[in-house]
Amino acid sequence: MKEEQGLQVLLMEPEENLRHFMCQLIDGTKGLACAGCLCSPLGLKRNIRLIKPNILLINLNAANELGYERLQDLKTSFPDLMIVLMDMEHGPRYRQLARQAGADTFMSTVSAPEELERLIRSYSALMA
């Protein structure tokens, strides 16, 4: 991790405008840096190896496209990678579903600024 830049986030979001918005939001959050943006799961493992992100922030629909087995495989292959599913929905039910799918947690894009700050705390707790 590059300490001066904060936690490195690899974003996978198929929708271009939301991808651009989330990357700007990540870069504007103290302690986070958008290390890369993907529009599809093609080459995901290769990008994780190259970029070495701390957090993979992945759109729920893209996670469905990727498949939960591959999501769990990513967690096995990259144990220090925090996998976070995101969608416009919110509530504790989605956090539970994300964990069942193999992700570490879930975040709602509706309250993204607060959710990104929560991710920093969650990452620290996960790696402790």
Tokens of 32: 């986070």
Is residue 2 pLDDT above 80, yes or no?
A: no
Q: What pLDDT shows up at residue 3?
A: 45
Helix/strand/coil for 101:
helix
Helix/strand/coil for 87:
strand
Can you give the CATH number for the domain in which 85 is found? 3.40.50.2300
Asked if residues 118 and 90 have their Cβ atoms less than 8 Å apart, the reply is no
Asked if residues 63 and 11 have their Cβ atoms less than 8 Å apart, the reply is no
The dihedrals phi and psi of 67, each to the nearest 5 degrees, come to: 95, 135
Residue range 60-115, pLDDT digits in tens: 888 877 888 888 899 899 999 999 999 887 777 878 888 888 888 889 888 888 88
Is residue 124 pLDDT above 70, yes or no?
A: yes
What pTM did the predictor assign? 0.87
- Number of structural domains in the chain: 1
Residues spanned by the domain of 83: 7-127
Residue range 19-45, pLDDT digits in tens: 999 999 999 999 999 999 999 888 899
Instruction: Give a yes or no: residue 2 inside a domain.
Output: no
- The Cα–Cα gap between 21 and 71 comes to 24
Q: What pLDDT shows up at residue 60?
A: 83
Instruction: Cite the beta strand spans of the chain per DSSP E.
Output: 7-12, 32-38, 55-59, 82-87, 105-108
Strand partners, 55: 9, 82
Instruction: Give a yes or no: residue 1 inside a domain.
Output: no
